[in-house]
Structure 1
Amino acid sequence: MIVLAIICSVMSEVICNAGLVTLLLPIFATLAEDLHINPLLLMVPATITSNFCFMLPVGTPANTIAYEHAHLKISDMALPGFVVKLITMFVTVIMTYALGGAVF
C-alpha cells in the first residue's frame, strides 16, 4: 500500500488529481481483486494521497498563486512540500491500516 501511495502522491505533482484518480483506480481495483483483498483498502489511500500536491507550483492553483505572489523559487516550495508530503502520506497509510479492518 505504501508503494501505491507514493506513486499517487508523486504523480499528483504533475498530473491533474481527477485525471490521476480516473486513471489509477481501475488498475488498483484489479490489483486488489488479484490479491483477494477489499478494493477500498487500496483505492481510498490512493484517492487521498493523490490530493497531496505540496511541492510544485503546478500542483494546485493555490500553489501557483503563492509562488507568483511571494516570488518564490521552486526550491522554496519543494523542500517544505516534500516534508509535508511524507508526513501526510505516512499518516494516511498508517490510519488506513489502523482503521481499515473496522471500516472495510
Structure 2
Amino acid sequence: KHLVGVEEYVRTEKAKLGKLSVAERNTLIAFGVTVTLWIVPGIVAIIAGTESSTYETVSGRLDEGIVAILGASLLFLLPTKWEDREFTLRWSDAAKIDWGTVVLFGTGIIFGSLLESSGLAETLGNGASDRLGLTSVFAITVFAVILAIVVSETTSNTASAAVVVPIIIPIAMAADVNPFVPALAATFAASFGFMLPVSTPQNAVVYGSGTVPITTMIRTGASFDVIGAILIVIFLPVMASMVGLV
C-alpha cells in the first residue's frame, strides 16, 4: 500500500541531514573496523577449522573485549581537524558518559560468570533440590523457573541459561522425569530479570537515566517476574504437549 507523502518526507529529512561530517565518517570507520575484527575469528574458523593453530592464534589475539577497546580507542586517534589537533572523541566528551552504569552492568556480568566458573550456582541449585525433594515434572519446572529468574537478575539471559539448564537436567534425570519441559522453562525464564539494573543493558540504561528509582524498579520488576513465572509454569507444558514435544 502506497502512503502519500512518505517519500517526500523522507527526502526532506534526508536533505536536512546534509553530507556526512568528518566525525561521522570517522565513527563509521571505527565501527567498521570493530565489527570486521569481531567476525574475523569466525571466518578463520570456517576456513581453517576450530582446531587449527591459526584459529587459536587469531581468536586469542582478537578477543571481543580487546577489539571493543581498540574500536573505542580509534575515536580518540582519528582526527577531525588535524591542524588544530582535534579528534573525533575528546576526553571531555568521554567524561560525560555515565560510567557508573557501565561499571554496574560490567560487575553484574562478572558476578554471573563467577557463579558459573566457581561452581556456586550448581552447588546452590543441587543443594536446594536435595532439600526440597523434587520428584515431579511440575515441581522441577517451578524450581527451574525460580532459579533461572534469580540468576538472570545478576547476569545476562545467555549466561543464565548456560548456568541453570545444566543444573536442571541432572536433577530431572535423577528424579526419573523427562527433563525437556524443566530445561525449556529455565531457558524461557532466563530471559527475565526485570528487578535490577545489572539484569539487562536495557535496565541499566533506564536506571542510569535517573528517572526510575531502584525501589520502583525492584517493585515493578518483581511483579513482572512473578507474572512471567506463572505463565511459563501454566502454559509451557500445555504448549509442549500440543506440539508433541512431550
TM normalised by structure 2 equals 0.40
Query: What is the aligned partner in structure 1 of residue 199 from structure 2?
Result: 59
Partner residue, 2:143: 3
- For structure 2, which runs of at least 5 residues remain unmatched after alignment? 1-140
Q: For residues 36-74 of structure 1, what are the alpha-carbon distances to aligned partners after superposition, in whole Å with 9 as ceiling and x for unaligned?
A: 222211100001001111111111111111112243211
Q: 1:33-72 maps to which residues of 2 (within 5 A)?
A: 33-72=173-212
Q: Does 1:19 align with 2:159?
A: yes
The number of residue pairs the alignment matches comes to 104
CA RMSD of aligned residues (A): 1.5
Q: Distance in 2 between matches of 1:56 and 1:38?
A: 33
Give the partner amino acid of 1:42.
P
Identity %: 27
Letter in 2 for 1:93: V
42-51 or 24-33: bigger deviation: 24-33
Structure label with greater radius of gyration: 2
Residues 12 and 5 of structure 1: CA distance in aligned 2, closer, same or farther (over 3 Å): same
Q: 5+ unaligned residues in a row in structure 1: which ranges?
A: none
Q: Secondary structure at the match of 2:222?
A: helix
Instruction: Give distance in 1, aligned partners of 2:241 and 2:176.
Output: 14
